[in-house]
Amino acid sequence: MSTRVVEVAPERYDRWRTRFDENNVHGPQRVAGVDHFDHDPLALVLVRRGGYAVGVAVAGRLTAHKTGTRYVQSRTAAGGWSQQRFARRRGNQADELVGAVADHAARVLRGSGAHGLVLGGDRALAGAVLDDDRLAALRGLPRREIYDLPDPRLAVLEKAVLRARAVRVTIEEERQG
């Protein structure tokens, strides 16, 4: 038995489900779970070592956003003192990135009335951004996590809005053989 998750736009879900059920009456596939994320407006926080994007989406459209880049040095093959120095530098740069993203998130998301939160990019960095006291109101919101995103840019943020709203359908398929 194998499972996979399919993301279907909410406005297409009913037609998709009807067609799926018709094609799999006795078929090898079946729907094992359906996860709707019907929260509106949405607060989005995407962060990776190469950049960030924060935004507010209402009815599937971005109404406010801020994107940017921030350099965080990658790992190095150097050893000894250099390795430790570069590790400290990476840590300082990551801390600066988290601080900058938290500043932008506090400004952009303040007063958004968000009912749901979308986190994406690097799990640890996104968690560190949420640790900022100014974002405490977001921590208790229903959450959808999308960590398989590339470096956040405006196009990635727009795609994250679509994926956040999507109905996630878990499909089980019996292996033939």
3-state DSSP assignment of residue 57 = strand
Task: Write out the residue range of the structural domain in which residue 159 sits.
Answer: 37-166
Quick one: average pLDDT of 100-117?
95
**Phi and psi, residue 28, nearest 5°:** -75, -10
Residue 141 maps to a domain: yes
Side chain identity at 6, as an amino acid letter?
V
Residue 31 maps to a domain: no
Q: Are 98 and 141 in contact (CB under 8 A)?
A: no
DSSP state of 174: P
pLDDT by residue (tens digit) across 30-53? 999 999 999 999 999 999 988 999
47 compared with 176, residue with greater pLDDT: 47
**What is the number of structural domains in the chain?**
1
Residue 117 maps to a domain: yes
Give the burial string for 74-93 (b: 16+ CB within 10 Å, else e).
Answer: eeeeeeeeeeeebeeebeee
- CATH number of the domain to which 111 belongs: 3.30.420.60
76 has pLDDT over 70: no
Residue 4 maps to a domain: no
Residue 176 maps to a domain: no
Residue 27 maps to a domain: no
Residue 41 maps to a domain: yes
Handedness of CA 125, 127, 129, 132 (dihedral sign): negative
**Phi and psi, residue 43, nearest 5°:** -100, 135
Residue 103 maps to a domain: yes
**Mean pLDDT score of the chain, rounded to an integer?**
89
105 has pLDDT over 60: yes
